Amino acid sequence: MKIRRVALAFLLAPMACLAAPHMMVVAANPIAAEAGLGVLRQGGTAVDAAVAVQAVLGLVEPQASGVGGGAFMLTYDAASRKIVAYDGRETAPASAGPGLFLRPDGTPKSFYEAAMGGRSVGVPGAIAMLELAQHSGGHAHWADLFQPAIRLAENGFPLTERVAKMIAFEAPRLGRQPALQAYLMPNGLPASGTTLKNPAYAATLREIAAHGASGLLSGKVAADIIDVVRRDENPGLLTAGDLAAYRPLVRTPVCAPYLGYTICSAPPPSAGGIVVLQTLGMLAQFPLPTLAPTGPDAAMLILEAERLAIADRDAFGADADFVPVPVKGLLDQSYIAARAKLIDPARAMATVTAGKPEGSAQAPGRQLPEHGTSDVAIVDAAGNAVSLTTTIEYEFGAHLLVDGFLLNNELTDFSLAPTEGGKPVANRVQGGKRPRSSMAPSLVLDRQGKLVAVVGSAGGGRIPGYIIQATIGALDWHMTPSQALAQGHVGGSATRTELEAGTDAATLLPVLQARGSPVTVAPMGSGSSMIMVTPNGLLGAADPRRDGAAVGE
């Protein structure tokens, strides 16, 4: 019931404070959201605001994202109604190979063996991606966008209760690097509201403000990254050449129809977007709008469809620049309809396997934890929009602090084992390759190509499920963003299904188990963002489970 009460507060807040807003920012921290809104007030675009939000998030939410990580972003241009997908995913060092995470005996390392330290660090791409997008879709001066974060880093910012709890949870591992421990725990575990300052981060941002992404990927900061990564007790392979060679990419988004709308999301190396589109396509074969949103029938359909889509993700998801990814086959409407026929609303599938879409066949890889992620939704005064999901992978990334920011452990999003059953895994480590991701920043358009909604989420491997549930809440059941994001979560994978503890969803456990579902009750800490375009203006919400806020005017 706790989430219901919080959700009501978020539902009332937009009506009380955001009367018919025409521009809006949703971010996982109110300070970051306000920084983005400040940019919009000064005539900046949605992309301009995204740069400012990311700079602040890296400071106030260091466990989730930052300049040491990567991102995917979709932009919507209101004038042309064009969507562009930007790929700022990290890349593996050129010298990395399939054995990167194997022990001397050839067995794969455990997640923590692989993730903690320099071995797991990929070339960070978020800032380079934002720079590329801002050159095309920004109006503000690049350097000005970093000033809010620089001021906060120098003057101090309050630690939220959520981040303080995460520091406490990760404290044993955070102590592996003295510099990180000295920053986050100078006098033991910090309390909520503790003021932190980070002058080193301010200095890094000044380099980026003055020189763009090259201020991070070359020069002093780059040298410091290489030094920390290669000198770590779990040393990595990054070189100055790897950082200098990094290029963000412009890609074609993946799009598919749903209930007369078009849903667009991030393409490979994200696999999350395809999972969202496949699952929605399967659900469209059933009368979901007629079912009770909190009932077992709707939950059963969602869980089973997600299990099928994630089985495909595990088999085929990878960097399409390195291995064939059958995107066309996976999103073929006849293929999706055939997969939907495997779903029996009265009985869960005993086993779930990948299908055989037109295209490649690879061995499925094992899913590993993904946690440290943040999400941003923005609509500016001209109706342009950004859906941004940004990450350093695990909570506090590789647990390495460099010049005031944390480095990612993104390479553990590759399969730690390069083969399964004697076949190569699509998502195996290869030099220069980008690891598979569950991030799925998404946009919803109407039949005329006009923006209807911006939606995305944090939450690691559960991200597609959170986006799916928010989307069907809004489109099938006509919920407001606050209502859609506050739903008790139900989520599926090829091997398990989950109901969110402490919510109405958890009460479905007995009936779903009676239908054969391998369901469990677990915490499901999403971090979703949503903005909807209505005739009366914008309506938005941040996930009530986190510190976020929707701000606009």
Residues annotated catalytic, as ranges: 373
Token pair of 126 as six digits = 């978020």
Signed CA dihedral, 172, 173, 178, 179: sign only? negative
| CB neighbourhood size of 527 (10 A) | 26
Residues 6 or more apart whose Cβ sits within 8 Å of residue 258: 277, 280, 281, 284, 471, 475
Task: State how far the Cα of 433 lies from the Cα of 89, in Å rounded to an integer.
Answer: 10
DSSP string, 476-523: TS---HHHHHHSPPEEE-SS-EEEETTSGGGGGHHHHHHTT--EEEE-
Tell me whether the omega of the peptide bond preceding residue 269 falls within 30 degrees of 0, making it cis.
Answer: yes
Task: State how far the Cα of 59 lies from the Cα of 68, in Å rounded to an integer.
Answer: 11
Task: Find tokens 């042309």 and name the residue.
Answer: 80
Residues 6 or more apart whose Cβ sits within 8 Å of residue 361: 315
Residue 57, helix vs strand vs coil? helix
Token pair of 435 as six digits = 């690891």
| CB neighbourhood size of 188 (10 A) | 8
Token pair of 221 as six digits = 């900061």
Q: In terms of Cα–Cα distance, which of 252, 493, 272, 221 is closest to 375?
A: 272
Task: Find tokens 């995470």 and name the residue.
Answer: 101
Residue 310, helix vs strand vs coil? helix
Q: Helix H segments across 42-88? A: 46-60
Q: In terms of Cα–Cα distance, which of 143, 134, 147 is closest to 384?
A: 134
